[in-house]
Amino acid sequence: MTLLAVQNLGKSFGGVVAARDVAFTLERGEMLALIGPNGAGKSTVFNMIGGQLRPDHGAILLDGQAITAASPQARFRKGVGRTFQVAQTFLSMTVVENVQMALVSCHREAQGLWKPTREHYRGQALELLALMGMADAADRSCSALAYGDVKRVELAIALAGGPKLLLMDEPTAGMAPRERAALMDLTSSIAASRQIGVLFTEHDMDVVFGHAARVLVLLRGEIIAAGSPDEIRQNPRVRQAYLGDEHALHAPALERPA
């Protein structure tokens, strides 16, 4: 069964139509990018799926069940996870404590009942960190980490909830190109191995074309194209939409001849 089905989603702000009959599906294990010029409606669509915004009309189905009107917390419990653009980790705590906190809150347990907090879910947290290649940094303070490593901790935190669907808003913002590729390689391998569907917005076209299996292009609230990275790169409407920023649609840097 399709993991996520978005049907005729619409949202207006006053006279501005931010999303118009947006419809698409996302399968388990798939990396789907949502792109579009500034103001195209990416955040609006993203926030309607995350539950931060209520659509004017349309439906959102997760595993065939409507979640259109569910709160963000209810969606989270049904398997919708999210990473955030701004580092949300508690910088004064260690890496493993941050992931433990996420696990504790996912299991909705009161802290410190009989075990010292530092022991709660430590094993599970270490497993997640090993998956991120961060096991060696487990007991370091988050404040001492390089930015790329903080992003990995954020990914571990998002995975602590065991999501079926992971929403990533500008996951590589502020990162150096090599770190971006590494984070997205890691994300796609986890998405494939855990069969998590990933929907991400991204301005960096190298990241989009290098890591998405499929790309949706929004323009003025409407999906104007959907397809593989190659199809999208060659689509005349998409090229038109990005006119003036055409370099954005070139092949990823790594594929370009030196």
Query: If you search the block for the tokens 């947006």, which residue do you land on?
Result: 22
Least separation in angstroms between residue 16's CB and ligand ATP is 5
Residue 89 C-alpha from the chain's centroid? 16
Q: How is residue 87 annotated by DSSP? A: -
Q: How many whole angstroms separate alpha carbon 215 and alpha carbon 233? A: 10
Least separation in angstroms between residue 95's CB and ligand ATP is 30
Least separation in angstroms between residue 243's CB and ligand ATP is 17
Comparing CB distances to ligand ATP, the nearer of 56 and 63 is 56
Q: How many whole angstroms separate alpha carbon 201 and alpha carbon 167? A: 9
Comparing CB distances to ligand ATP, the nearer of 39 and 252 is 39
Buried b (16+ CB within 10 A) or exposed e, 39-68: ebbbbbbbbbbbbebebeebebbbeeeebb
Q: What are phi and psi of 14, to 5 degrees?
A: 55, -125
Comparing CB distances to ligand ATP, the nearer of 154 and 202 is 202
Comparing CB distances to ligand ATP, the nearer of 132 and 249 is 249
Binding site for ligand ATP (CB under 6 A): 13, 16, 18, 36, 38-44
Least separation in angstroms between residue 205's CB and ligand ATP is 13
